[in-house]
Structure 1
């Protein structure tokens, strides 16, 4: 049996670029919805995409903050969050919060040191694991929910953005 070697490296800038690539694509999915369908359309009893987008908004910036600082805060408690509506009820509001969160992620990411990814942390006092695992969960969860958005858009007769265009 071949032994795996620990000689593969991805740097923090590449991780951020990968994450933000997913976020940019998810933003385009949010934009593709007619506003009324964003808040009301469902398939098979799943939540409306606006709810899924808000779940991702509540994870993105707070997750990056936790990764960077070890402080796991709610979105509304992040520095500068008082400037933005943290519970928007319109498509434009969700997109504005999405953009604010993306900028916040870019800014707080500058505080992350590479050794942090190998530390164990208890995110939000509930989920203990390596910090890299938390980051991958945030990305995986976004991909999962974005896929639901693709199903919704297709069921509405709307062609979603190409999934590879990140």
Structure 2
């Protein structure tokens, strides 16, 4: 017998909504510090000769995954800052993941992007968080700024787990996913 579906309607006051919006921005800032810290610990464990490791030919290498995470983080934070998403937001200057030869090179790019996006995130205003963001590089896909921030956090967490699996495939014990020390 099929159970009737229940619809729950939730009313959130304007003041409560503003608090939630600010909380998303705070969580994004926290993620930049903490989730990236764990990803950095993982990358430090990758030997130089494994920076281009990929479990199968179709999958991204370690350096390509990190490039993707940095690109996604930068794309969404810059879009919130500028009020529009542009293709150039995804360019991690000076980084070609296919040519990296060492963990230290990858970490240098990671640290540079982390510093930049951390600074930009710290300058985002409540008004910018209230805006709708149109991503011109994705057929004018439009989403609210808060959701843009959640996109980069989801990408960061997802790919952090992927790097953890890669480490295990390399016979390396990854750091605990939630070791933010």
TM-score by length of 1: 0.81
2:51 alignment partner, SS class? helix
1:59 to 1:29, Cα distance in 2 relative to 1, 3 A: same
**2:169: which partner in 1?**
155
Contact 2:32–2:114 under 8 Å retained in 1: no
**1:144: which partner in 2?**
158
**2:89: which partner in 1?**
74
Contact 2:77–2:117 under 8 Å retained in 1: yes
Residue 5 (str. 1) matches residue 12 (str. 2): yes
Post-superposition offset of 1:4: 4.4
Aligned length: 160
Deviations 1:72-98 (A, max 9, x none): 333558xxx5xxx32251322211111
Aligned equivalents of 1:33 and 1:4: distance in 2?
48
Q: How large is the Cα RMSD of the aligned pairs?
A: 2.4
Contact 1:69–1:111 under 8 Å retained in 2: no
1:129 to 124, 133, 143: 143
**2:95: which partner in 1?**
86
1:49 to 51, 59, 62: 62
Deviations 1:6-41 (A, max 9, x none): 425316344312232111111111111112222123
TM-score by length of 2: 0.75
Residue 32 (str. 1) matches residue 41 (str. 2): no
Aligned equivalents of 1:40 and 1:18: distance in 2?
26
- Structure with higher Rg: it is 2
Aligned equivalents of 1:149 and 1:14: distance in 2?
22
1:120 to 1:2, Cα distance in 2 relative to 1, 3 A: closer
2:52 alignment partner, SS class? helix
1:76 to 1:155, Cα distance in 2 relative to 1, 3 A: closer
